[in-house]
């Protein structure tokens, strides 16, 4: 308990919250390093129990190919107390959220993918409004399901899609990676989600309209391949 309190005080000192219950205004500089002694993967996140020089502490990062026994560094740490993961049906008295950096996790995890972390509101990070989003209007406007299902015919053509940001990885290979859903399509069939690459920024939960070019059968290596995505997109909130 003393170890947990010590690390909580150490990290919390690096942050200033704009308002009670608000979100971090920028990133902190604190880092925590430890050996992974337990891990749990859910849709968007990897939960890690770390053995640190201050004792055992839970942390979470954007889903990454980390394995038990790896030594990892969590950067830009944000502390959350009494956080409940609905996916795990588990409440963490204290947990650190941040960016996975400086990791000894093998070639897959040390690649340019899977390492970024979006600053997320101080709330249950897995609770994202799943209500349907009204479609964009105007030329080339389409629902997510239509872009996915008509990818072959749309290859190289512009589309406009309006949806909710359900996953966000920043500054990977020079662009930001956004997953959009609008309530259309099937999760089982993979037609409910579209990847968008853009230089614009967004937050998980934002409803945005993107305009970009459809690409198909993209393989970025390290196990990251996509049958369809929207590239070079501009973004409007």
- Cβ pair 191, 173 in contact under 8 A: no
- pLDDT means per 10 residues, the chain with 237 residues, are 38 28 38 89 86 85 86 81 80 82 43 35 51 93 97 97 88 85 91 94 89 92 80 92
Domain 144-236: top CATH class: mainly beta
Considering the entire predicted model, what is its pTM? 0.53
The predicted structure's pLDDT at residue 107: 34
C-alpha 141/C-alpha 115 separation (Å) is: 32
The predicted structure's pLDDT at residue 130: 72
The predicted structure's pLDDT at residue 223: 59
Half-sphere exposure of 109 (CA within 13 A, CB side): 21
In the chain, alpha helices (H)? 2-12, 106-109, 144-149, 151-154
Instruction: Sketch the domain layout of the chain as residue ranges.
Output: 2-16+27-109, 144-236
Strand partners, 167: 179
The predicted structure's pLDDT at residue 81: 75
The predicted structure's pLDDT at residue 129: 67
The predicted structure's pLDDT at residue 13: 28
The predicted structure's pLDDT at residue 10: 33
The predicted structure's pLDDT at residue 17: 25
Domain 2-16+27-109: top CATH class: mainly beta
- Cβ pair 201, 190 in contact under 8 A: no
The predicted structure's pLDDT at residue 30: 67
């Amino acid at each position: 308990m003393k170890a947990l309190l010590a690390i909580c005080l150490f990290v919390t000192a690096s942050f200033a919250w704009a308002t009670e219950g608000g979100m971090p205004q920028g990133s902190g500089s604190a880092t925590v390093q430890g050996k992974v002694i337990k891990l749990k993967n859910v849709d968007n996140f990897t939960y890690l129990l770390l053995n640190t020089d201050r004792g055992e502490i839970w942390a979470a990062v954007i889903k990454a190919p980390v394995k038990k026994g790896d030594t990892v560094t969590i950067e830009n740490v944000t502390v959350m107390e009494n956080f409940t993961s609905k996916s795990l049906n588990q409440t963490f008295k204290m947990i650190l959220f941040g960016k996975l950096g400086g990791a000894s996790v093998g070639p897959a995890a040390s690649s340019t993918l899977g390492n970024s972390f979006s600053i997320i509101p101080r709330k249950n990070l897995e609770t994202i409004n799943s209500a349907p989003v009204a479609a964009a209007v105007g030329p080339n406007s389409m629902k997510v399901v239509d872009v996915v299902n008509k990818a072959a015919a749309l290859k190289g053509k512009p589309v406009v899609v309006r949806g909710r940001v359900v996953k966000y990885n920043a500054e990977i290979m020079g662009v930001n990676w956004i997953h959009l859903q609008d309530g259309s399509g099937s999760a089982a069939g993979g037609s409910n989600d579209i990847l968008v690459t853009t230089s614009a920024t967004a937050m998980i939960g934002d409803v945005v309209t993107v305009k970009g070019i459809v690409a198909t059968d993209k393989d970025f290596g390290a196990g990251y391949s996509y049958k369809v995505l929207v590239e070079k997109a501009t973004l409007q909130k």
